[in-house]
Amino acid sequence: MKSPRHHLPRPLAAWLAAAALSLAAGGVQAAADANSPAAYAIRIPVTLAADAPLQRVLLPAEVLVRLQNPGYADVRLFNGAGQPVPMALAGVAAASAPEESVVLPAFPILGAPGMPGQAGLEGLSLRVEEQQGRRVVQIDTAGTAGTPGTAGAQTVRGALLDARSVQLPVARMALDADLPAGQPVTFRVQASRDLKNWRPLAETVLYRADAAGTTPSPAAPGRLGSEHIDLQRADLKDHYLRVTWGDAAVTFRGATLVTSRGAGPRERVSASMAVPPLGNNPRELVFALPFATPVAALKITPQGSNVLVPVRVLGRNDRERPWAHLASATVYRMSTGGKEQTNAPVELGGASVREVKIEADAKSAGFAAAPDIALQFEPAQLVFLASGQGPFTLAAGLPGARAAASAFLPLASLVPDYQPQQENTLPLALADVARADITGGKPAVGPLVAAATASDGLSMRSWVLWAVLLAGVGALGLMAWLLMRQTKPASQPAIKPASKAPDSPHDAV
């Protein structure tokens, strides 16, 4: 006899199958959402520069405060057909410091003719003297000084520049010279403090193809090579420069030095933030951040007048993790001479946290009210290939994208023959934030980041895990109960009713 086969009820089996399909469909939907502009929290129209396949667009604060992935993986740029375009993520170059130009006249250096290269300068003794307010260069040639006719036989082999008064580092040097036609000329630049010991700085080769015209402009037709020599921010204070060019018939008038204090700091992207009110503890302020973008710094300004509070800034990503120390600083607001002074931003080093705690020193009185807080981010830009037709849309902020895969290409793969910092020379496309389409509607005028208190109970991750666990236990219990109902009737043998006993022996016959 075959044992009976037990099956799950069809409704239960259908329910389990539907749940499995919904989970699978949910994974597929999440992947599909990354390529759908409508799935993102914000969509910003982008106006391209004219006639440029490769362009760049700066990420505005409205994008940075909505990213859910610390690696910017939930940023896309879509064309008019809703297709993501090839792109790369890049930083923004530091701001260039103001440059100054210093024009130096040339003092000719004479050397013996017929000697190649710099050999004609061997044995030269140079000195610069101040005589009655005039600068005089004394040039003596060993073995030829005082010999009649020697001076007339000498030729100009180079020039001396007095750079002793140049205080700032020199970024580059532009030559003011006329070149012979059809002859490459190698210019060498050297520096010295004493006019005896020279160290090389740089060299360049210039060539003039046309026989007519001696315009020294780099843009002159027929002029090949760069007349701007990179000196790599050389310190030339109290130095002389020597420029030589061998035997070429060069007319050298002088040079222009371009000085700079160096690259200025990169201008960060700032976003205002509403802060929840203080609780019962005036020395502690805890709030949540609705994004995962790394924060470069917090500008913390206490309320009131003449206030100074030493603080610690701590952060974490959820309540299950301990607070991590991010920075310590002193924040203040003071009035001096009628002018208000506040502290510099508190550097966080690019921390990506979801909850922030600001602790005032226990020896202080704490905060009288919640301080003003502004977020600062390092600037970032997308370098992209403008493929397809417009309009183009910058989309950012994909829910559940913390572990999403990045869609960024290496810059060397996107930009042909890529050179460092080349992306900063590409045409700049503009993101029109005023016409942004924000999921849920545009917020009211005010801080860019709304106030959010840190959660007091379990984190969302823990709630999800507990919900999945309880749902699994409930499903197993339901399955066990249904199986017990099916197996119980089959395991008990059927009981036949007893036959009725005869009333008398005659009935039994």
**φ, ψ for residue 287, nearest 5 deg:** -145, 165
Residue 76 has pLDDT above 90, yes or no: yes
CA distance 366 to 111: 77
Q: Quick one: CA dihedral 36, 38, 42, 45, positive or negative?
A: positive
Residue 177 has pLDDT above 80, yes or no: yes
Q: Which residue has the higher pLDDT, 402 or 133?
A: 402
DSSP 450-479: ---PPPSS--HHHHHHHHHHHHHHHHHHHH
What is the predicted pLDDT for the residue at 30?
43
Range ranked top by mean pLDDT from 24-28, 167-171, 221-225, 440-444: 167-171
Residue 248 has pLDDT above 60, yes or no: yes
**For a pLDDT cut of 90, what percent of the chain falls above it?**
43
pLDDT in tens, 114-140: 554 444 454 455 555 555 555 545 555
Tell me the pLDDT of the chain averaged across its residues: 80
Asked whether the beta carbons of 355 and 289 are under 8 A apart, the reply is yes
What is the predicted pLDDT for the residue at 487?
77
Q: Where are the beta strands (DSSP E) in 321-379?
A: 324-336, 339-342, 346-351, 355-360, 372-377
Range ranked top by mean pLDDT from 73-82, 152-161, 197-206: 73-82
**For a pLDDT cut of 70, what percent of the chain falls above it?**
72
pLDDT band at 387 (very low <50, low <70, confident <90, very high): very high
What is the predicted pLDDT for the residue at 246?
84
Q: What is the CA radius of gyration of the chain?
A: 40
What is the predicted pLDDT for the residue at 482?
80
Residue 167 has pLDDT above 80, yes or no: yes
What number is the average pLDDT over the span 414-437? 93
What is the predicted pLDDT for the residue at 46?
97
Closest to 345 measured CA to CA, from 373, 368, 370: 373
What is the predicted pLDDT for the residue at 463?
61
Helix (H) or strand (E) holding 481: helix 460-491
By mean pLDDT, which of 25-39, 179-193, 211-225 is the weakest?
211-225
By mean pLDDT, which of 68-77, 133-142, 228-237, 434-443 is the weakest?
133-142
pLDDT band at 23 (very low <50, low <70, confident <90, very high): very low
Tokens, residue 51: 């006639």
What number is the average pLDDT over the span 187-215? 80
Strand 428-431 and strand 54-58: the pairing is parallel
pLDDT band at 379 (very low <50, low <70, confident <90, very high): very high
Secondary structure (H, E, C), 47-103: ECCCCCCEEEEECCHHHHCCCCCCCCCCEEEECCCCCECCEEEEECCCCCCCEEEEE
pLDDT in tens, 252-307: 999 999 988 765 567 899 999 998 888 889 999 999 999 999 999 999 999 998 99
What number is the average pLDDT over the span 317-338? 90
Q: Which residue has the higher pLDDT, 507 or 240?
A: 240
CA distance 358 to 276: 12
Residue 414 has pLDDT above 50, yes or no: yes
pTM for the model stands at 0.59
Number of other residues whose CB lies within 10 A of the CB of residue 225:
16
By mean pLDDT, which of 23-32, 257-266, 419-428 is the weakest?
23-32
Q: Which residue has the higher pLDDT, 456 or 280?
A: 280
pLDDT in tens, 463-482: 667 678 888 888 888 888 78
CA of 136: how far to CAs of 127, 146, 374, in Å?
8, 19, 60
Asked whether the beta carbons of 363 and 353 are under 8 A apart, the reply is no
What number is the average pLDDT over the span 354-375? 93
What are 152-155's contacts with CB under 8 Å, separation 24+?
153/112, 153/113, 154/110, 154/111, 154/112, 154/113, 155/110, 155/111, 155/112, 155/113, 155/120, 155/247
Residue 412 has pLDDT above 80, yes or no: yes
**φ, ψ for residue 430, nearest 5 deg:** -115, 130
Q: How far apart are the first and last CA of the chain?
A: 38
pLDDT band at 215 (very low <50, low <70, confident <90, very high): very low
The one-character DSSP state at 254 is E
- The number of residues in the chain equals 509
Q: Which residue has the higher pLDDT, 76 or 497?
A: 76
By mean pLDDT, which of 10-24, 218-232, 380-394 is the weakest?
10-24
What is the predicted pLDDT for the residue at 289?
94
pLDDT band at 500 (very low <50, low <70, confident <90, very high): low
By mean pLDDT, which of 112-116, 167-171, 325-329 is the weakest?
112-116
Q: Which residue has the higher pLDDT, 417 or 483?
A: 417
Closest to 186 measured CA to CA, from 200, 206, 169: 206
